[in-house]
Each structure stands twice: as C-alpha cells, then as structure tokens.
Amino acid sequence: MAKYTAMTGNTAAYNGAALCRPDLIAAYPITPQSSVVEGLAGLVYGGKLDSNFVQVESEHSAMSVVQGAAAAGGRVFTATSAQGLALMYEPYFRMSTLRIPMVMAIATREMTSPETIWSGQQDAMSVREAGWIQMFCESNQEILDMIIQAYAIAENKKVMLPVNVCYDGFYSSHLIEGIQLPEQAEVDAFLPRHDEYAYLDPAHPAALDPLTPGELMMKYRKKHLEAMQEAKAVIEETDAAFAAHFGRNYGGLIEEYKTEDADVVLLTVGGMSGTGKDAVDAAREKGIKAGLIKIRFIRPFPAERIAKALAGKKAFAVVDRSVSFGWNCGPMYMETKAALADADEKYCSFSAIGGLGGADISFEYLLGCIEKLEAKKDQPGKRDTVWLMD
Amino acid sequence: MNYLDVLKSTKNVMTPGSSACQGCGGELITRRVMQIAGENSVYAIPPGCMAGAGVDGWNFSNGCSAPIHITLLDNTASFMSGVSEMYQRRGRTDVNIVAIAGDGATADCGFQSLSGAAERGTKMLYICYDNEGYMNTGYQRSSTTSLGSSTSTTPAGAAINGKEQQQKYLPLIMAMHEVEYCAAASPSNMPDLVRKIQKGLEAGKRGFAYLHVFSPCPTGWKFAPDQSIEVGKKAVASNMFPIWEKENGQFKVTVNRNPISVAEFVKGIGKFSKLTADEIDAIQEMVDRRYQTLLHLAGE
C-alpha cells in the first residue's frame, strides 16, 4: 500500500527517481535543485539505494557521466536547473540525438541576466529544440508520478528518447504537499528492471557514433522526429497504464479543466495551473464560461489535442513563465497559435507573460486575464501581449 | 616479457590504412596502446588527430576492432567515468577502460572533466598524446605549445614572435591529483613506453591512471617525417620532455646525466626557426627549473 506523507517537490523528485532503481546517478548541486542531489546521496550513502553515485565537478560532466553509463547499458538519472542546464547543453543535445533513454528532472529557474536564482521556466523552454521529450508538473505528486512514467516513456522501443520532468523552482521544489508514496513493489510491477542494450561492449564491438555523412544523418533526424510523434500515443498509453496500477492519471499530453462548455480558455504550464483553476472557478461564479488547458508536454508539442480542445471556443490566453525574444510573446503562445489554423480569424487571443525571476503569478492576474478574454471574446483577433505585473 | 615480444604477440586492434600523416607520433602511440590494451577494452577518442585519422570509424573501412566512441572534445574523462562505473557495477572488472586524447582535449577544454575524473579515482587509463597544439585542424596553439612556437594562431610575425607563453606542464598537475599511477613517456623510448602502458592498464583497474606521451608532429612542427623518433629522443635528451613516473606516492625520474641544450633540440624544427637567443634562453631556464623540480620530487 502506498504511504500517505508530505514532502517538497525536490523530495518527491528524488523519491520518484529512487523508486525507478537507477544504476547510476551523477549530479552537481545548483539552486533550487540541490536537495534532489542531497536526497539521493543520503539514500545511497545510507545504504537504502543500490545505485552508483558519481559526484561530478560540473553539470557538463553530470550529463557526460550518465551518457557514458547509459551507453554501457545503465538506467541513469540526473537533475539540474538554469545555468547548470545551460552548461550541460553540449552533452544534453547529444543524449537525445544518440537516442539513449534517460530521465532528468529540472527544477526550473530563470536564466541570468539580470542575475537571478529564482523561479521561471526560461531554462527548460530555451532548450526545447534539443530533441528531448519535455513535460511540466503542477503538483508534487505529479513530479513523483511523472518521473516513474518518464522512464516507461523514454525506454519504450517506439520512443528511445530522454525525458525532462520539469517543475517550478521554489514554488514546487521547496513547498510541501501531501503525497502518496508508492511501495517499491508497486513501482517494480509498473516499471520492470532495466535491461538496456550496451552500445559499448567488447562482447559485440562497434563504433558508437562515428563521423556520419549528411545523407545518413538526414535519415537519423527524420526518424528522431518520427519517434517524437510516436511518443504522443505512448504518453497517453503510459498515463492510462499508470492509472491502472496506481489509480492516478493526468490526462496525458494535456489536462483539460472545465473546458467542455467554456467560451474562454486559459492555457497554463506547470505550477501556475492550480492558481489558474481557482481563477476559472471564481470566473464561473461570476457567470463567465471559463476553462483551462494545462499544457503538460511541450515536446512533443500536443498540437492536435490543443486544437481539438479549443475547437468551438471563442477566446484564449496562453500564460508563459518565459519569453520568446523574437516574437514579442511567450513561447507557448507562439506554438499554440501554430497549432491552430486561422487562429486570428476564429479566436480572440493574447499572450500573457508572468512570473519571471520568481515574481508571483497571482490569482488576481489570472482572473484578470479571463475577464479580459470575456470582454473581447466576440471580437476575434490577436491582442497585445499582457505583462502580469503592476 | 621483453617489449618486442609483447608487441609481436599482440593483435593490432587499430585497422591498417589510417589517414594519419607520415611519421605521426600520435598514430604510433595509439597503435601501441590499443595493441597492449587489446580488444577486451572500451575506448574513447575525442575529436583530434586520431579521430581525424579514422580510429573512431569512418567510411565503413577504417577504425578498430574494439568498442569505441568519439566523445565530445571536452568530456572524454567524464563520459568514460560513466562507462567505467557501469563495468564495475556489473562486475566486469576485466574490461580495460581507455581514453586516448590529444593535448587540446586534455589540457585545455577537457581539463575540467579530466581533473574531476582523476580526483574521483575513476578506474580507467587516460592517455594524452601531446603534440603541443591543435594539429588536426591546422596547428592552432594550445596551452602545451612551447614558448616561441610559430603556430597558425601564433604566427612568428614582425610584431609578435610566435607563442608568448611557456607551456603548461600537465603531467605534474595530474600527479598532484593523488592518482593511482602517473607517468610521462616518449615513443622514442619504446621499452619504457610499453612498460608504462602496461603499468597504466594495471593501475587503471585500481584507480585513475594517467599517461602523458610526447607526440612529435612532422606536419605541424615542420620537420621531415623520418625524423620523428630523432625529435623524440632529442626532446627527452634536452629535458624539453623529461620522462618519469609516480606510483605508490613515489616519483621516479629517468635521470638525464648529460642533457643536450634547448638550442640543440630546436635545430631543424620549422616551428622554432624564428626563435631569438633570448627566447631560447627563456626556454632553457624553464626546462632546467622544471627538471630540478622533478629531481627534487624524486629525491635525486
């Protein structure tokens, strides 16, 4: 039986990782992720987790060590944030393009400059073209559950891609929520022990990743993109299988909240979704037919499900905790628009940017977005980007 | 076993037909290392001359008969840390974990990951073939390039006469990581090199082993390909490249009773053709000081 307890997002992350029995963990501390490393170190040094634990001198090496271990057939885990993710970009890109499965948690954080250590999603959003599957969590339970699901998705033979499980730094990483902590046996039943192919093994000598001519590389890239699309069905199936084992599910690529009869819809990413749901409830009390779509996976981008969920609606706003420097809006607004044909003819819409560098995305801000949509819902067209600040 | 018997009785793991330059020191070193380590090994060779020569595999016709990966230029030691950990974890401790990298991938951008792996005592053998520059890409300077060398990024010119700094002496830095084994060797002394490769492989089963090998480069340094071994001999004889080892905490220097001068060493090597007398003096002073430090460490 699962144990009811309470823990921070980082504690949920390391417990989730430990339950997946990784062969090797390599990590480097960085705010706000550090307690994930500390927690895993505590388990390994305390004899409660049988994993090789490699204390590296940088995130670049963290990703390199897990890459080597995974190439030798291991199930591996690491975690990072912001500057650490930026430093590991070189082996990070190579992990996905080698098509080696693994899971990395990101306690998301704003990118410097201005100098900051606080929350934001710019780090993970900025690497969304590096070939990884990336998903964002709303609750601590979801963090723990999604790390377990992420291994099942990553190691699925139709996918074979690494997965980022992202959650908001501080807001999720450091705040305590109630959690159902599964038993090891329950996780083992859902996620069998890893027996991955060792690419580097004298028993079957081969060169891993020799210099590859463009004609062959084109084929690899095409297959990588196809695997990303295949992953969409695997993500939905994995969520359903998880529900059958644990009694909890999350909707797969997206979660819809009161969208069925909604006129106006907020789209959110990560921890702000809870506030967004409260704002939807409050708006409905005022007679506004509001709903919410939580974009859970940003890679692969759930274009079909978002288009379907928004079909027949009048207005939407996408709330981003990061920016797209080239489009004067948030990145998920840009991508949501790309998923909708003739968006500006059919919908009133705008991008809302908030919560940068740890700033609060308050209930009032999100209710304000809904009211703004409600006021203009019968006048389709793109509106100016709204900055959620005073 | 005599080193000739060792080399005669072991298989050439690196395929024939590599595209290394004539007289390449790096190729000779790599062939010998792979011969002695053998096929029950996992190799990493990052971008550089040996990757460029096709040891990592190229065009389905070149490469080696053992598992190998072309690591990133800067993550060879950390990638191989992960490989080593998995082999230890699975109890397959008989497999040699071997990295072969140039000085750029070792002393410059790869230095952080190398230092990390050495400090952690990762069970592996790391070999640097030091040709004192980025030779594969046309001889740009590296931190091990010696003072006054004319390279493609430090050309001997009217305003600046070649590289302005002395070389970074990496092997001693590695020795101070308290590694299991650390040695400097030259292919011009093959019995010594073979013995150090064997010791390094053995020590790499217990902890981190580091071997820094002088790699004469006819193409980059501009000397005749048939002079490589001669240049290696003169490098050792002049103390430009002293050979020594550190094991069980003890330094052991191959004592050079009658060193030749730096002026004698640089003769006939194109990259040194514009050296001034002052620069030769400065190199001589550094070389003498460094050699005295090594003798002192060895208690000689």
Nearest neighbour of B67 by CB, restricted to A56, A66, A205: A205
Asked if A214 reaches chain B (Cβ–Cβ under 8 Å), the answer is: no
Q: Give the CA dihedral B37, B99, B22, B271, nearest 10 degrees.
A: -140
Contacts of A70 in chain B (CB under 8 A): 82
3-state DSSP assignment of residue A79:
strand
Burial of A105 (0-12, 13-18, 19+ CB in 10 A): buried
Q: How far is B58 from chain A (nearest CA, A)?
A: 6
Q: Kindly determine whether residue B58 and residue A198, on different chains, have CB atoms separated by under 8 Å.
A: no
Asked if A368 reaches chain B (Cβ–Cβ under 8 Å), the answer is: no
Contacts of A198 in chain B (CB under 8 A): 86
Rounded mean pLDDT, A360-383 = 98
CA atoms within 13 A on the CB side of A332: 34
Q: What's chain B's length in residues?
A: 300
* Mean pLDDT over each residue of chain B, to the nearest integer: 97
Residues A239 and A267 in one domain: no
Residues A159 and A301 in one domain: no
Nearest neighbour of B82 by CB, restricted to A64, A90, A207: A64
**Cα separation, A149 vs A155, whole angstroms:** 10
Q: By a Cβ cutoff of 8 Å, what residues of chain B touch chain A?
A: 39-42, 51, 56-58, 63-72, 74-75, 78-90, 95, 112-113, 115-116, 119-120
CA A346, chain centre distance (Å):
29
Q: Which CATH superfamily is domain B3-298 in?
A: Thiamin diphosphate (ThDP)-binding fold, Pyr/PP domains (3.40.50.970)
A126-153: pLDDT as tens digits: 999 999 999 999 999 999 999 999 999 9
Residues A228 and A283 in one domain: no
CA atoms within 13 A on the CB side of A346: 14
Residue listed under structure tokens 């307890």: A5
3-state DSSP assignment of residue A317:
strand
The residue among A219, A246, A273 that closes a domain is: A246
> Of B55, B69, B92, B114, which to mutate for an interface test with A (greatest number of A Cβ within 10 Å)?
B69
Neighbours of A217 (CB within 10 A): 11
Residue A216 predicted with pLDDT over 90: yes
Nearest neighbour of A26 by CB, restricted to B41, B82, B95: B82
Rounded mean pLDDT, A318-347 = 97
DSSP class of residue B99 equals: E
Q: How far is A231 from chain B (nearest CA, A)?
A: 27
Residues A219 and A283 in one domain: no
Contacts of B78 in chain A (CB under 8 A): 56, 60-61, 64-65, 68
Q: How many CB pairs under 8 A join A and B?
A: 141
Q: Kindly determine whether residue A56 and residue B58, on different chains, have CB atoms separated by under 8 Å.
A: no
Rounded mean pLDDT, A205-233 = 96
Is the separation of the CB atoms in A354 and A321 below 8 Å? yes
Q: Is ipTM beyond 0.90?
A: yes
B76-132: pLDDT as tens digits: 999 999 999 999 999 999 999 999 999 999 999 999 999 999 999 999 999 999 999
Q: Which residues, 6 or more positions from A308, have their beta carbon under 8 angstroms from its beta carbon?
A: none
Tokens of A90: 């070189």
- How far from A117 is each of A82, A110, B11, B39, B283, CA to CA, in Å? 8, 7, 55, 48, 47
The residue among A212, A246, A280 that closes a domain is: A246
Tokens of B233: 């001999």
Tokens of B43: 């190799």
A16-75: pLDDT as tens digits: 999 999 999 999 999 999 999 999 999 999 999 999 999 999 999 999 999 999 999 999
Q: Kindly determine whether residue A57 and residue B119, on different chains, have CB atoms separated by under 8 Å.
A: yes
Q: Quick one: pLDDT at residue A315?
A: 98
Contacts of A87 in chain B (CB under 8 A): none
Residue A200 predicted with pLDDT over 80: yes
Residues A140 and A278 in one domain: no
Q: Quick one: pLDDT at residue B70?
A: 97
**pTM recorded for the entire structure:** 0.97
> Which amino acid is it at A308?
K
Q: Kindly determine whether residue B82 and residue A209, on different chains, have CB atoms separated by under 8 Å.
A: no
B61 band by pLDDT with thresholds 50, 70 and 90:
confident
Residue A194 predicted with pLDDT over 80: no
Residue listed under structure tokens 């309470």: A6
Residues A153 and A289 in one domain: no
Q: Quick one: pLDDT at residue A326?
A: 97
Strand partners, B97: B42
Residues A233 and A318 in one domain: no
Q: Kindly determine whether residue A24 and residue B86, on different chains, have CB atoms separated by under 8 Å.
A: yes
Residue A371, domain extent = 254-387
Contacts of B42 in chain A (CB under 8 A): 72, 200-202
Residues A242 and A344 in one domain: no
- How far from A264 is each of A283, A287, A292, B165, CA to CA, in Å? 10, 12, 8, 67
A102-126: pLDDT as tens digits: 999 999 999 999 999 999 999 999 9
CATH of residue A344's domain is: 3.40.50.920
CA atoms within 13 A on the CB side of A307: 12
Residues A124 and A216 in one domain: yes
B1 band by pLDDT with thresholds 50, 70 and 90:
confident
Contacts of B85 in chain A (CB under 8 A): 24, 52, 54, 65, 68-69, 74
* Relative orientation angle of helices B111-119 and B76-89, to the nearest 10 degrees: 30
> Of B34, B42, B70, B90, which to mutate for an interface test with A (greatest number of A Cβ within 10 Å)?
B42
3-state DSSP assignment of residue A206:
coil
Is the separation of the CB atoms in A353 and A362 below 8 Å? no
B58 band by pLDDT with thresholds 50, 70 and 90:
confident
Nearest neighbour of A69 by CB, restricted to B51, B71, B83: B83
Please name which of B78, B157, B155, B75 lies closest in space to residue B118, comparing C-alpha atoms.
B78
Please name which of A68, A69, A67 lies closest in space to residue A95, comparing C-alpha atoms.
A67
Contacts of B136 in chain A (CB under 8 A): none
B224-263: pLDDT as tens digits: 999 999 999 999 999 999 999 999 999 999 999 999 999 9
Nearest neighbour of A68 by CB, restricted to B40, B57, B82: B82
Q: Give chain A's domain count.
A: 2
Rounded mean pLDDT, B155-181 = 97
Residue A193 predicted with pLDDT over 90: no
Q: Quick one: pLDDT at residue A386?
A: 98
Report the share of chain A in percent with pLDDT over 70.
Answer: 100
Residue B71 predicted with pLDDT over 80: yes
The conformational region for residue B137 under phi > 0 = left, psi -120 to 50 = alpha, else beta, is alpha
Q: Kindly determine whether residue B81 and residue A68, on different chains, have CB atoms separated by under 8 Å.
A: yes
By C-alpha distance, the chain A residue nearest B75 is A64
**Cα separation, A340 vs B228, whole angstroms:** 66
A1 band by pLDDT with thresholds 50, 70 and 90:
confident
Residues A110 and A131 in one domain: yes
Q: Kindly determine whether residue B67 and residue A64, on different chains, have CB atoms separated by under 8 Å.
A: no
Residues A98 and A222 in one domain: yes
Asked if A91 reaches chain B (Cβ–Cβ under 8 Å), the answer is: yes
Residues A209 and A304 in one domain: no
The residue among A246, A273, A292 that closes a domain is: A246
A196 band by pLDDT with thresholds 50, 70 and 90:
confident
Nearest neighbour of B57 by CB, restricted to A66, A90, A210: A210
The string over B2-14, giving b where at least 16 C-beta atoms fall within 10 Å of a residue's C-beta and e elsewhere, is ebeebbeeeeebb
Of the listed ranges B13-17, B27-31, B167-171, the least confidently predicted one is B13-17
* Mean pLDDT over each residue of chain A, to the nearest integer: 97
| Gyration radius of chain B's alpha carbons | 18
H or E element, residue B199: helix B190-203
Contacts of A55 in chain B (CB under 8 A): 120
Q: Quick one: pLDDT at residue B60?
A: 72
